[in-house]
Chains A and B, each alone.
Chain A
Amino acid sequence: MTAQPDIDAILAEYASWPGGLMPALHAIQHQHGWVSSEHVPALADAFNVSVAEVHGVISFYSDFRTEAPKGPLVQLCRAEACAARGAKAVHERAIAEVAGQPIDLEDVFCLGLCTAGPVITAQGRVHSNVTPDEVAVIIGHALRNDAVPPAPASTARRPDTITVFVPIDAAARAVGADDVAAGLVDAPGVHLVRNGSRGMLWLEPMVEIDTPQGRVAYGPVGVADVPGLLEADLLHGGEHPLRLGLVDDLPWMRSQQRYTFRRVGVVDPRDPDDYERNGGLVGLRRALTMQPTDVVAEVTDSGLRGRGGAAFPTGIKLRTVLEAAGTTKYIVCNADEGDSGSFADRMLMEGDPFMLVEGMVIAGWAVGANDGYVYIRSEYPDAIEAMRAAIAAAEQRGWLNGPGSVGGVLGTDFVFRLHLRVGAGAYICGEETALLESLEGRRGVVRAKPPLPALEGLWGKPTVVNNVLSLGTLPAILADGAASYAALGTGRSRGTQVVQLAGNVARGGIIETPFGITVDEVVNVLGGGTASGRSVRAVQVGGPLGAYLSTDHLDVPVDYEAFAAAGLLLGHGSFVVFDDTVDMAAMARFAMEFCAVESCGKCTPCRIGSTRGVELIDKITAGIDREQNIDTLLDLCEVMADASLCAMGGFTPLPVRSALSQFTDDFHRTSPSTEGSHS
């Protein structure tokens, strides 16, 4: 692990990559376990930057370690959805377990497995629903460096076999899907397909059997259940206590209108033929017969709005870039899905990666861009792998231009290359301008706007920056026509919302539904209330920068305008449920702490304000000059909200203020004290 990295080979590979510094640092870290300052001059030379800049980049991203690791790395998620499911106790136990041991324990903020927290990674493997006792076991394995078996892949189809689907989605793998797949792969008559997840994450690992009646589901299946299931004639849909019935008839599925997620869980994400058989490329083929302006018009007419949170009309953005001066333009896919409680992007990339590829090609054609970049956070190794494989397959098929390819996409003259880049542990890179900086191989520091990225984006060129779901929806809109999307939804919120339900909830997962469903329906009807069985106390909507709703406010309909009217942020559509044991002062503190950890550090309100926010809340909960400090906290919230450069500092006050206004009692638990007071 700590052998010297082959720096020359790494630099030879990445020196010609635009913004190649980050990939090179990843490669060094991968080979070496850390990045030594010895390598800084060579990196600076290779990428034509200064040693100071390289140092600045390394020190910005939490992934890059500048000291030799003590031992294996264990990461614990501390974000809200895991916090809602008891991460604090796990965290405390882990700290006790690693004390004095040669092991590196670090915090991580969201691995996108938000229905099954607390989540831990060790030796590259993810463990979910971890209890404090299990933490001790996991750390023990890590210390012994126990081998992790490889995940079984889809098998080739043989005669007289029946297709058995076992999801390869990270959420399914985290609860043992690989073990289930390993138990099934060699069973007689089994043709194993690793599909995406249907999004009913409480049922994972959910095994599906291809029967003449349709796909029959069993779940959640443990590895111990496999022999019994085979015995119960699983392969022909046989009866078993775990048998759920036909997938399409399940209430969860029937309650939805799957538009963007139409193929997720259906197809084998590694199989381009499967993609084409299931409607893939129809949209792209049609788009390529149209003029770019007509493609843009189609998107505009669909009413699609940016699904990363800002809800900016996608068609207008495409038109801006199309009409922008210059011949070099870029498509950038923001797959830095860092919000706790959000995992739709991850699931789409893991379950239907070709759709994102296709969507980016369509966007490229629409605006005249020949290069696309998909920037995926490093906390999503499965999504990275899925996209890497999909891009390679698409290049091979001529759906994309790849190394040595001749001509353009699908036999046309249109050239489009797609590049995958991996983040390095910085939440702020989900902010579009910080993401562009990061793609350029720099510190992920937010840019001031204007100029808009649509006019001066990546390397100063006109750039479409859109979320995975926005770009991933383009193939469907182009395939089915603008009206197919516009027909769904309510008011100006057209189409569907991909709701992600997580935290302390009985039935968590993905719900793709037309806009208009209420929060209460999402949480209590579809989600079935809390997982703990206790009453729901709070729901955080829209990620770590979203407000906490008390149960009095759950009747808001899920649409952009209604949310905005209520002073809320729909964001990426995540709903994290908390039961009545939650300490909302602690959650408010967490919001400030998260901002303090993840702030890029550029603007003053966010850089200093978040730290002062944590300190103020500590004083408030300790009962020190409470009323005065609450006033100061509210003033701080105003400064952060109205003076910050980007949404990170700007929206951090939302959870804080909402906790303070709706859960006031939690801030008054200790008796007031004048100790340590100040004037």
Chain B
Amino acid sequence: MTLSLSMLIDDHDLGTPAPDRRLREPAQATVEVTIDGQTFSVAEGTSVMRAAALCGVDVPKLCATDRLDPFGSCRLCLVEIEGRKGTPASCTTPVAQGMQVTTQSPKLERLRRGVMELYISDHPLDCLTCAANGDCELQDMSGKVGLRDVRYGYEGDNHLSLGKDTSNPYFTFDSSKCIVCSRCVRACEEVQGTFALTIEGRGFGSRVAAGFKGSFFDSDCVSCGACVQVCPTATLTENTVIEMGQPRRTVLTTCAYCGVGCSFKAEMQGETVVRMTPYKDGGANEGHSCVKGRFAWGYATHQDRQLEPMIRESITDEWRVVSWQEAIDHTAARLKDIQARHGNGAIGGITSSRTTNEEVFAVQKMIRTAFGNNNVDTCARVCHSPTGFGLSQAFGTSAGTQDFKSVESADVILLIGANPTDAHPVFASRMKKRLREGADIIVVDPRRIDLVKTAHVRAAHHLQLRPGTNVAVVNALAHVVVTEDLVDHRFVQERCDPAEFAAWAAFVSQPENSPESLEQHTGVPAAEMRAAARLFAGAGNGAIYYGLGVTEHSQGSTMVMGMANLAMATGNLGRDGVGVNPLRGQNNVQGSCDMGSFPHELSGYRHVSDPNVRALFEGLWGHAIQPEPGLRIPNMFDAAIDGHFKGLFVQGEDIAQSDPNTVHVMAALTSLELLVVQDLFINETAKVAHVFLPGTSFLEKDGTFTNAERRINRVRPAMRAKTGKQEWEVVCELAAALGAPMHWNDAAEIMDEIAALTPTFAGVSFAKLDEVGSVQWPCNDAKPMGTPIMHEGVFVRGKGRFTVTPYVPTDEKSTRKFPLLLTTGRILSQYNVGAQTRRTDNVRWHGEDVLEIHPHDAEERGIRTGDEVTLASRVGTTTLHAVVSDRMAQGVVYTTFHHPVSGANVVTTENSDWATNCPEYKVTAVQVSPGHSAATVEIDHPEHRLGALVRMANQIARQMAADPHADAVAATAYHLDRFWEHEMRADLVRAIDAGTVTVDDIVVEAVGRLSVTA
């Protein structure tokens, strides 16, 4: 595929979907069919309409589109077939061997004209002033069939006086223009899976209706835009098109919201976006979208954007707009000064999961070369770092095993701690489609999310666990699999390490890991747990999907390994329809991790301690790479408060709002001498920054994003950078000012460098991506077209590794003072900290974060829906409005963190995953009380920090404690060596020596073996 980017891309609609859309390769069986005298070979099961379209004959149609199953209602696509009576519809008639089809004849022309005459007898004749003028299939068909007269006149019964529904902020429904083809209703059902639309009435009175109250906004409509996209007339039209007219050129690019990574056509007038429409050939989304990508792109050109660099000496000073040159020089000078005064390690940086791979790569390269240290971390630290850790341990690759398409072959889906209909809506639609086809779903979640029960979805089991007990659940499931001998022995024998399997099987078989024993912790009835385990283990294809409800726990990494164990034991890896699949939060979480932005790893997940790897990079970069891990984000905060970390460069992440324990984070940030923020907006972090470097929106960027399925998608500029510079260019200039220039002429050259340094990216280039659309890494000589499914035949690490996963309850427990457990999550209309979506009409759906509370808990406290309530944890207090809802179990409350004003992270704690420090957002002991109360402040101090280090070390030891003592000590020492920054290990030794805190014996022994000590 070669794309000309200067013209409007108009998808050729083949009328009906391919016969088996689940097939990855075209079907083998073909039949010969003769269409208008020409004989062609097409796949068996293809409709006559599609066959004709593939052969270049477009049969007139209105109700048919290749995005939807054939329907057969418009009756324009009639054809004649030799030997068959009548004039069958080509959309609903499959081809047969030897079939002779005629698509044009006087009879057919008469019928088609007659049908069009009927349509137009109930349609306004305002084509010239209609918003769809130039993009109207009704208009096109009228022209194609040669309609010249409507002999019925226009005074008959009609629907021309029906009013418009303008309740949705993004599109208008004009029923008077509706031809009742049902495409919108079908798209809502078949593609989106929401069933918000229907036809009401019957016969001539049949009309499209949203919900049952009459307006789109009041219906179940989720504004995915699928209906607008398939509407062949002006009935459903984007308001931007109504305001601006038709677009003139297309730029193919990738959505900058979630980890699904939808391909979009940015449809433009000059440098102005008219609309964003999902791209049919996009591998991740196959032409579907959600409200964010489809409509909520207005933030990119929002007036709040700061387009010029600014600096200030102190955060109490006013900002001063400066030139790029001054900003860069100032920043470089300050960074150098800090290093001179406080040491090389006193500065660091944070890469973003929202920027391109190339931008991430540039930042981490700047830190490792120009900063000369490994103090680089990524915001993936706080979401999916346990995924990378856990999957790497089990399979050898820090990424999900499948592509999204794989879900179409799953028989039983085990969904753990993820809420795809809100957080990954386009993938959720693909999942729901599979569920409607008959697959089962088991939901493991403290909340009754939509996938537990919504129209046409009903979970086989909802394991409504107590927050923080994931590992207990996965152990209980594994217990059933092993003790009831539901293990796929052949898979385990062929693919996994037998000794590790045996150790794991013995561990999970212990009576304390039975569903019955663990019920007291999980709250999940043992019978339900057993039934779920049997269902999953008995599935032909069992697929695990999970989200932050797995990772954001003190045992996040343990749980990832636990799921990997379960998948291996049941033989669910290495083919379509199975796997362990993280649903990544932000658009480029996978990519930012791949690009080497963890303090211990270079691109492609290679440890900095490996001299061969370092040599490769040093050779190309001409700078020495430090062999020791740098600081992680939480360590940076602690070190800042401690006074030996002074300068921080933050690209595209609002850590002040998104990271837990806001008071602690703010204390850290305000302790810095220099905080540099590169972002679109003056966000919460920028409010305490000293340098602001304006960033570019996705509509200006040139580069790539890598989505949750390892798919590398191109991001192409639809307009020039409003700041005058790409973000990577700014980074290069800063690096050069620091004395370590990076010589790239364009983003493609950055990718070339990534490919040269990273074996899994060896085959990736912009040229290839532009040619084939996208590839999934690994992409190299062995897999030049990428790898949709990983671990086929053999795991990347060789034998699959089973890991013993003891359930270690989190320290965060409900107490008399804080009797409820708070868990946090997302909502469809808003995205992450809301910096983008809050600057769009999406606020119409979610104007504030609310606290969901169970009716019983609410009644006990005298709280009703709409009441202002105070939410307090041991670290902070905030105020929200309550919504009484039985979606949570009693004792659990829930909120989102999209709005800075509500500050959900004021209450979340410093607890984190033992292996990766991913914060435990999902479990906070809280109290809820009616009314507003003043915030409480509790600032960390150095003693606290040493205590925290010991606590982290003890946590690691407890994970290892199930192993024999010597092994546990070795594993703890290995972990500290491999993942802890030098100073932290030194401080740990100091803390132990001080003797003021209780230290696990395993830690004490492990510290004695550390290769680097104080």
Interface positions of A (Cβ within 8 A of B):
37, 40, 44-45, 48-56, 59-60, 426, 428, 443-445, 448-450, 596-605, 607-612, 615-616, 628, 632, 635-636, 638-639, 642-645, 678
Whether B93 is near chain A, meaning CB under 8 Å from some CB there, is yes
Q: Are A60 and B122 in contact (CB under 8 A)?
A: no
Segment touching A, from B72-80, B168-176, B417-425, B528-536: B72-80
Q: Are B155 and A678 in contact (CB under 8 A)?
A: yes
Taken together as a complex, chains A and B put the C-alpha atoms of A616 and B117 apart, in Å, by 14
Q: Are B196 and A645 in contact (CB under 8 A)?
A: no
Whether B83 is near chain A, meaning CB under 8 Å from some CB there, is no
Known A52-B197, A600-B203; judge A643-B75 contact (CB<8 A).
Answer: yes
Whether B119 is near chain A, meaning CB under 8 Å from some CB there, is yes
Taken together as a complex, chains A and B put the C-alpha atoms of A428 and B211 apart, in Å, by 24
Contacts of A600 in B (CB 8 A): 202-203
Segment touching A, from B27-35, B322-330, B452-460, B576-584: B452-460
Q: Are B114 and A643 in contact (CB under 8 A)?
A: yes
Q: Are B111 and A642 in contact (CB under 8 A)?
A: yes
Contacts of A645 in B (CB 8 A): 72-73, 75, 89
Least CB distance from B969 to A in Å reads: 54
Taken together as a complex, chains A and B put the C-alpha atoms of A60 and B211 apart, in Å, by 15
Whether B219 is near chain A, meaning CB under 8 Å from some CB there, is yes
Query: Which among A37, A54, A59, A428 is the interface contact of B213 at CB below 8 angstroms?
Result: A37
Contacts of A599 in B (CB 8 A): 202-204
Taken together as a complex, chains A and B put the C-alpha atoms of A428 and B220 apart, in Å, by 29
Known A59-B200, A448-B71, A600-B202; judge A52-B210 contact (CB<8 A).
Answer: yes
Whether B53 is near chain A, meaning CB under 8 Å from some CB there, is no
Taken together as a complex, chains A and B put the C-alpha atoms of A411 and B152 apart, in Å, by 64
Q: 24 A-B pairs, CB-CB below 8 angstroms?
A: A52-B198, A53-B195, A53-B198, A53-B455, A59-B201, A60-B200, A444-B202, A448-B89, A597-B203, A599-B202, A601-B205, A602-B71, A602-B206, A603-B73, A605-B75, A607-B180, A611-B204, A615-B156, A616-B152, A636-B114, A639-B118, A643-B78, A643-B114, A644-B75
Q: Are B209 and A443 in contact (CB under 8 A)?
A: no
| Chain B residue nearest to A636 in the complex (CB) | B114
Whether B194 is near chain A, meaning CB under 8 Å from some CB there, is yes
Q: Are A603 and B200 in contact (CB under 8 A)?
A: no
Q: Are A449 and B92 in contact (CB under 8 A)?
A: yes
Contacts of B196 in A (CB 8 A): 50, 52
Taken together as a complex, chains A and B put the C-alpha atoms of A678 and B149 apart, in Å, by 11
Q: Are A642 and B211 in contact (CB under 8 A)?
A: no
Known A448-B92, A604-B75, A608-B122; judge A48-B455 contact (CB<8 A).
Answer: yes
Least CB distance from A53 to B in Å reads: 6
Q: Are A609 and B118 in contact (CB under 8 A)?
A: yes
Whether B212 is near chain A, meaning CB under 8 Å from some CB there, is yes
| Chain A residue nearest to B93 in the complex (CB) | A450
| Chain A residue nearest to B212 in the complex (CB) | A55
Whether B574 is near chain A, meaning CB under 8 Å from some CB there, is no
Q: Are A601 and B206 in contact (CB under 8 A)?
A: yes
Least CB distance from A608 to B in Å reads: 4
Taken together as a complex, chains A and B put the C-alpha atoms of A644 and B195 apart, in Å, by 27
Q: Are A448 and B72 in contact (CB under 8 A)?
A: yes
Query: Which among A51, A53, A60 is the interface contact of B202 at CB below 8 angstroms?
Result: A60
Q: Are B206 and A632 in contact (CB under 8 A)?
A: no
Query: Which among A56, A596, A598, A603 is the interface contact of B209 at CB below 8 angstroms?
Result: A56
Q: Are A443 and B202 in contact (CB under 8 A)?
A: yes
Interface positions of B (Cβ within 8 A of A):
70-75, 78, 86-87, 89, 91-94, 107, 110-111, 114-115, 118-119, 121-122, 151-153, 155-157, 179-180, 182, 194-206, 209-213, 219-220, 453, 455-458
| Chain A residue nearest to B107 in the complex (CB) | A642
Least CB distance from A5 to B in Å reads: 17
Q: Are B111 and A643 in contact (CB under 8 A)?
A: yes
Taken together as a complex, chains A and B put the C-alpha atoms of A645 and B115 apart, in Å, by 12
Taken together as a complex, chains A and B put the C-alpha atoms of A636 and B115 apart, in Å, by 9
Taken together as a complex, chains A and B put the C-alpha atoms of A603 and B210 apart, in Å, by 21
Taken together as a complex, chains A and B put the C-alpha atoms of A605 and B75 apart, in Å, by 8
Q: Are A604 and B118 in contact (CB under 8 A)?
A: yes
Taken together as a complex, chains A and B put the C-alpha atoms of A638 and B114 apart, in Å, by 9
Q: Are A601 and B87 in contact (CB under 8 A)?
A: no
Taken together as a complex, chains A and B put the C-alpha atoms of A607 and B121 apart, in Å, by 12
Q: Are A596 and B203 in contact (CB under 8 A)?
A: yes
Q: Are A44 and B455 in contact (CB under 8 A)?
A: yes
Q: Are B156 and A612 in contact (CB under 8 A)?
A: yes
Having A609-B118, A643-B78, one finds 7 other A-B pairs with CB under 8 Å, namely: A49-B455, A60-B202, A428-B202, A444-B202, A611-B203, A615-B156, A638-B110
Taken together as a complex, chains A and B put the C-alpha atoms of A628 and B121 apart, in Å, by 17
Known A48-B456, A52-B195, A601-B201; judge A639-B115 contact (CB<8 A).
Answer: yes
Least CB distance from B454 to A in Å reads: 8
Taken together as a complex, chains A and B put the C-alpha atoms of A54 and B220 apart, in Å, by 13
Contacts of B212 in A (CB 8 A): 37, 40, 51-52, 54-55
Q: Are B209 and A643 in contact (CB under 8 A)?
A: no
Query: Which among B72, B115, B156, B209 is the interface contact of A52 at CB below 8 angstroms?
Result: B209
Q: Are A638 and B202 in contact (CB under 8 A)?
A: no
Taken together as a complex, chains A and B put the C-alpha atoms of A45 and B211 apart, in Å, by 14
Q: Are A610 and B204 in contact (CB under 8 A)?
A: yes
Contacts of B118 in A (CB 8 A): 604-605, 608-609, 612, 639
Query: Which among A56, A448, A598, A678 is the interface contact of B199 at CB below 8 angstroms?
Result: A56
Contacts of B201 in A (CB 8 A): 59-60, 601
Contacts of A444 in B (CB 8 A): 202
Taken together as a complex, chains A and B put the C-alpha atoms of A51 and B188 apart, in Å, by 13
Q: Are B453 and A48 in contact (CB under 8 A)?
A: yes
Taken together as a complex, chains A and B put the C-alpha atoms of A616 and B118 apart, in Å, by 13
Known A450-B94, A605-B115, A639-B111; judge A426-B202 contact (CB<8 A).
Answer: yes
Which 10 interchain pairs have the tightest Cβ spacing?
Answer: A601-B206, A56-B198, A448-B72, A639-B114, A50-B195, A55-B212, A50-B455, A448-B92, A599-B203, A52-B198
Taken together as a complex, chains A and B put the C-alpha atoms of A642 and B84 apart, in Å, by 13
Known A598-B203, A601-B203, A612-B152; judge A635-B198 contact (CB<8 A).
Answer: no
Query: Which among A50, A449, A628, A678 is the interface contact of B194 at CB below 8 angstroms?
Result: A50
Contacts of A54 in B (CB 8 A): 212
Q: Are B453 and A601 in contact (CB under 8 A)?
A: no
Q: Are A607 and B194 in contact (CB under 8 A)?
A: no
Least CB distance from B885 to A in Å reads: 15
Q: Are A55 and B203 in contact (CB under 8 A)?
A: no
Taken together as a complex, chains A and B put the C-alpha atoms of A425 and B780 apart, in Å, by 64
Known A615-B156, A642-B111; judge A601-B204 contact (CB<8 A).
Answer: yes
Q: Are A632 and B152 in contact (CB under 8 A)?
A: yes
Taken together as a complex, chains A and B put the C-alpha atoms of A71 and B886 apart, in Å, by 41
Taken together as a complex, chains A and B put the C-alpha atoms of A638 and B151 apart, in Å, by 15
Contacts of A644 in B (CB 8 A): 75
Least CB distance from A91 to B in Å reads: 21
Contacts of B78 in A (CB 8 A): 642-643
Q: Are B203 and A50 in contact (CB under 8 A)?
A: no
Q: Are A611 and B213 in contact (CB under 8 A)?
A: no
Least CB distance from B576 to A in Å reads: 22
Known A52-B198, A604-B118; judge A643-B204 contact (CB<8 A).
Answer: no
Contacts of A449 in B (CB 8 A): 92
Least CB distance from B114 to A in Å reads: 3
Q: Are B198 and A55 in contact (CB under 8 A)?
A: yes
Taken together as a complex, chains A and B put the C-alpha atoms of A642 and B88 apart, in Å, by 9
Contacts of B75 in A (CB 8 A): 603-605, 643-645
| Chain A residue nearest to B74 in the complex (CB) | A604
Taken together as a complex, chains A and B put the C-alpha atoms of A49 and B219 apart, in Å, by 14
Least CB distance from B634 to A in Å reads: 43
Q: Are B203 and A52 in contact (CB under 8 A)?
A: no
Taken together as a complex, chains A and B put the C-alpha atoms of A600 and B206 apart, in Å, by 8
Interface centre among A53, A428, A600 (most CB of B within 10 A): A53
Q: Are A607 and B206 in contact (CB under 8 A)?
A: yes
| Chain B residue nearest to A447 in the complex (CB) | B72
Q: Are A601 and B72 in contact (CB under 8 A)?
A: no
Taken together as a complex, chains A and B put the C-alpha atoms of A639 and B456 apart, in Å, by 37
Query: Which among A45, A448, A601, A643 is the interface contact of B70 at CB below 8 angstroms?
Result: A448
| Chain A residue nearest to B196 in the complex (CB) | A52
